[in-house]
Amino acid sequence: MIPHRGFGRRNKIPDIFNKRQLIQLFEGFENPKWAMASLLALYCGLRESEVCNLKLYDIDLDKGKLKVVDGKNTNRTRDGYGKDRIVPIPQNIIPIIRDWIDFIGGGTYFLPAINAPDKPMHPHTISNFFNRHMHKVNLAEVRKAKEITKGKMKGFMRKTLKYTFHTLRHCYGTQMYEQTGDIFLVCELMGHADISTTMVYMHTSHKRKSERVNQAFKPVQISNKQLQDLKREDVMLMAEQNRAKELALREKEIELKRAELMQSMQPQIITRTT
């Protein structure tokens, strides 16, 4: 059973990339390392820290899956944190991942640190590069200024980007819900401790909303065979109705003739009785 803190918890609806933006984003990569990091976030839903801490022996390309260890943090004693999960790897990116592993020539981490190959890359390194890359490919969109309410910077205003590295993970969550419609499966794949966190993807899934609205107002779809059957039934019904009308007319004619006959015989009956 997936623990949750209730459905009343409010979560902001995340922004996601559209297809054109994703093409623009990936075509702008010059270093394959950043492309691989973004690929794992988009196709496997990994967080920045999970991308950095992913080890080669946790990747099973033959079975098409990877193991995410201590995804949220290393505090395994706290409920909902430090839980491992298995994430399927889409078949279309397995050859790309295999080529990357061959390129780095082994080691411990899938994305080793730049100056220390035996250590993982720091998450801030990914986020900082990604933000610069967004400006480079003209996808940086600055949000309204946001007030800092904690720490020494309290009272100051800062600007934030609409799209960050984490947006790729939001794309994964949205796509998974659109394709499966199973919010509990998406919750498990993304490693959420709270189901209400996953429920934001029910709101961002425009495709599934559209499908449900269209289904509600969808006209009745009739196949050619069904149409022919309906036409045949209509013809038979019309023929039966015509036969019924003919019988009714005949019965009416018979009644009229009978009435005429009785009328013609009426004087003779009267004469004989007198």
pLDDT of residue 161: 80
In Å, the largest CA–CA distance within the chain is: 139
Phi-psi region for residue 210, left (φ > 0), alpha (ψ -120 to 50) or beta?
alpha
pLDDT of residue 20: 93
Q: Do the beta carbons of residue 163 and residue 15 sit within 8 Å?
A: yes
Q: Do the beta carbons of residue 174 and residue 160 sit within 8 Å?
A: no
pLDDT of residue 111: 94
Q: Do the beta carbons of residue 49 and residue 71 sit within 8 Å?
A: yes
pLDDT of residue 4: 43
Q: How far apart are CA 183 and CA 185, in angstroms?
A: 5
Q: At what angle do helices 183-190 and 165-180 cross, to 10 degrees?
A: 150
Q: Which residues touch 108 (CB under 8 Å, ≥6 apart)?
A: 55, 56, 118
pLDDT of residue 253: 79
| Predicted structure pTM score | 0.67
Instruction: Please provide the size of the chain in residues.
Output: 274
Count CA within 13 A, CB hemisphere, residue 174: 19
Instruction: Please write the tens of the pLDDT for every residue from 224-242.
Output: 666 677 677 777 777 777 7
As to burial, measured by CB atoms within 10 angstroms (0-12 exposed, 13-18 middle, 19+ buried), residue 109 is buried
pLDDT of residue 71: 53
pLDDT of residue 48: 94
pLDDT of residue 269: 47
Instruction: Please write the tens of the pLDDT for every residue from 65-74.
Output: 999 987 555 4
| CA 158, chain centre distance (Å) | 33
Three-state SS letters, 221-260: CCCHHHHHHHHHHHHHHHHHHHHHHHHHHHHHHHHHHHHH
pLDDT of residue 14: 86
pLDDT of residue 5: 43
Residue 147 forms beta bridges with which residues?
157
The CATH fold assigned to 19-216 is hpI Integrase; Chain A (1.10.443)
Q: Give the mean pLDDT per block of 10 residues along the chain (274 residues).
A: 43 85 94 95 96 96 92 51 85 95 92 87 93 92 64 60 92 92 93 90 74 68 67 75 77 77 62 48
Domain ranges of the chain: 19-216, 221-274
Q: At what angle do helices 32-44 and 123-136 cross, to 10 degrees?
A: 100
pLDDT of residue 58: 96
Structure tokens at 116: 């220390």
pLDDT of residue 62: 96
**In sequence order, what DSSP letters do the residues of 149-169 get, joined into one string?**
-SSTTTT-EE--BSS-HHHHH
